[in-house]
Structure 1
Amino acid sequence: MKILLLAGTYEARQIALRLGRDGRIDLTASLAGATRAPLPLDGAVRVGGFGGRQGQQDFMAAGGFDAVIDATHPFAHRISFRTHSICAALGVPYLQVLRPGWAATGADDWTFVADEAGVAAKVAANMTVFLATGPGSLAAIGQLPAARVLCRVIDAPEGPFPWENGAWRRGRPPFSVEDEVEFLRDEGVDLLVTKNAGGRGGWAKLEAARALGLPVVLIDRPPQPPGEKAESVETALDWIERL
C-alpha cells in the first residue's frame, strides 16, 4: 500500500515511525522545507514545495498513492485545503490529522484573537512581547506598538528583524517548562503571543507563562478542509488499517 504523508509535526514523525517499519506500507513523507535541518523521518523523504496545485496533483498522480495522510501544522490550512481537493479529484482517500486545540484552566490568563491581525490591539506600549508564532507570521501580525518584540527562530535568520523594536532569538525545540520560565524571566517578557496549535510540543511555554502569571494571546485556528479527521496518531493508524 502506497501512502503519502504530509509531515512537519510531532504526530507526523510518530506516524512515519510506525508506518515506515510496516512491511506492508510503501511510505513517502513530504516536508515543506521550512527548516534547514529537520528531524529525521522514516520512509522515503522528499523536501520542498510542489510548485503549486498542478505540480502537486501531477506528483500525486504519478506516485500512484493509495491514501494521503495530512499531518501538517493546524495553521498550514492552505496546503490542507489544496490536498483535500486534489485527493477528491484523483479519488484518493484523504485523512487530516488535527490534534485538539489547547484549553485554559482557571490559573491561565488567556485571550483569544480571530487571526494575526488581532494581536496588535492586545499590546501596550510599555510591553516586551514574545512572539512564539514563528517568523512566517510577522507580516500578518504587523508591526506591534510595543517597547520590545522578540521572535524565536530555529535557523539563523537571513536578515535583520523587520521592525526596529524587534530582535531574533535562536532556539530549537523541544523546550522544557524550566527552559521557558528561564527564557521569559531573563528577557523580561510581559506578554506571550502564540498560535492555538495544540499538542504537546508547544505546551511548555504556556505552562511557563502560567507559572510566571503572564498573560497570553492565542491566535485562533483558521478554517480547515472538510473530510475525515483524526485527533491522534492511533486514530490515524486505525484509519490505515481499515483501508
Structure 2
Amino acid sequence: MAGRRLLILGGTTEAAALARALDGAGEWEVVTSLAGRTRAPAALPGAVRIGGFGGADGLASYLRSERIDRVVDATHPFAATMSANAAAACAEAGVPLLRIARPAWTPVPGDRWIEVADAAEAADWLAGALPAGAAVLLTLGRQEVAPFKRCPALRFVLRSIEPPVPEDLPPDCLLLSERGPFTLDGERALIARHGIRAVVAKNAGGDATAAKLAAAREAAIPVVMIRRPAPPATPAVAAVAGALDWLRA
C-alpha cells in the first residue's frame, strides 16, 4: 500500500487530525488542499495545496494528472459547493470518495434556538425581535456579514479569524480576530463584557466552538442557528477514526 496518494480536502480540525494520523506511517502520500481563505493557516504535515481547482472538471483533471488514489472530503459542513464538486469529480475520474460528516449540534433543555436557512433570514429575525442598541455576537465567519447591514439599530460583535471587507460591515460592529477552540469561561466573559443579547451561529458541530451554546443557554439568550445545507449523497463517516478504517480497508 506504500506510495498510494490521498487527497484531503481540508480546512477543518478533522482534516488536520487525519493528516497527522497518517504522517510517517508510510501507507499514504498525503496532499491536503486548502481553499486559501485564511492567510496564515496552521501548519500541516505532508504536502499542502492552496487554492481552487476550477470547479468539478478542474478537480477531476487534477485527480487524474496527480494520480490520486482516494479522496477524503473533510471540508466544513457549510462548504456545499466544494463537497458537490468533489462528488462529481470523483465520479468522473473513478476515484473513491469518503466524506467526514461532523455531527450537527442539537438543542438541549434550556436552549432558545431560532433555526433559519441563512444569514439573511437571521438578520430579518434580529431586526424584528431585538430592541435598538442590543448587542449581537456573530460567529458565522467573515463572508456572510453583509446581510446584517440591514440592522443599523443593533450593535454587533463579529468574531472571525480574519476581518471581512470593510463594505460588508454593519454600521456598529466590533471585530474580534480570534481562532478557536473557545472555553466556556471565555464565552461567559465575552457575553457579559459586551452585554450580548443574541448569538448568531452556523450549525458547524464539533467541540471547538460549542462553548458559546452553553454560555448562551446559561445567559438565557437566543441562538439564531443557521441550518446546514443538504450534503451530497456520498459515503460518509462521523469522525476521523472512520476515515482511517476506510483507508486501511
> Fold-level match, TM-score > 0.5?
yes
Contiguous gaps of at least 5 residues in structure 1: none
* Partner residue, 2:138: 131
SS in 2 for 1:136: coil
CA distance in 1, matches of 2:238, 2:100: 6
Query: 1:130-176 CA deviation, whole Å, 9 max, x = no partner?
Result: 11001111235663354212211213555365221323222122211
TM-score (norm 1): 0.93
CA distance in 2, matches of 1:143, 1:59: 41
* Partner residue, 2:9: 6
CA distance in 1, matches of 2:92, 2:69: 13
CA distance in 1, matches of 2:191, 2:114: 18
Q: Which is worse superposed, 205-214 or 221-230? A: 205-214
CA distance in 2, matches of 1:217, 1:67: 37
* Partner residue, 2:24: 21
Contiguous gaps of at least 5 residues in structure 2: none
Which of 31, 36, 46 pairs up with 1:33? 36
> Are 1:129 and 1:146, in contact at CA under 8 Å, matched by a contact in 2?
no
Give the alignment of 1:52-71 within 5 angstroms: 52-71=55-74
TM-score (norm 2): 0.91
Which of 203, 227, 240 pairs up with 2:210? 203
Following superposition, the deviation at residue 115 of structure 1 comes to: 2.2
CA distance in 2, matches of 1:200, 1:42: 22
Question: Residue 74 of structure 2 aligns to which amino acid in structure 1?
Answer: A
CA distance in 1, matches of 2:165, 2:113: 32
* Partner residue, 1:82: 85
Q: Percent identity?
A: 38
Decide whether aligned partners of structure 1 residues 199 and 241 sit closer, same or farther in structure 2, where only a CA change above 3 A counts: same
CA distance in 2, matches of 1:161, 1:168: 12
* Partner residue, 1:170: 177
Question: Residue 149 of structure 1 aligns to which amino acid in structure 2?
Answer: F
Give the alignment of 1:110-129 within 5 angstroms: 110-123=113-126, 124-126=130-132, 127-129=134-136
SS in 2 for 1:54: helix
> Are 2:137 and 2:200, in contact at CA under 8 Å, matched by a contact in 1?
yes
RMSD: 1.7
Q: Which is worse superposed, 71-80 or 129-138? A: 129-138
Question: Residue 103 of structure 1 aligns to which amino acid in structure 2?
Answer: T
* Partner residue, 1:194: 201
Query: 1:5-62 CA deviation, whole Å, 9 max, x = no partner?
Result: 0011111111111112221111101111111111111211111222333332222211
Give the alignment of 1:102-113 within 5 angstroms: 102-113=105-116
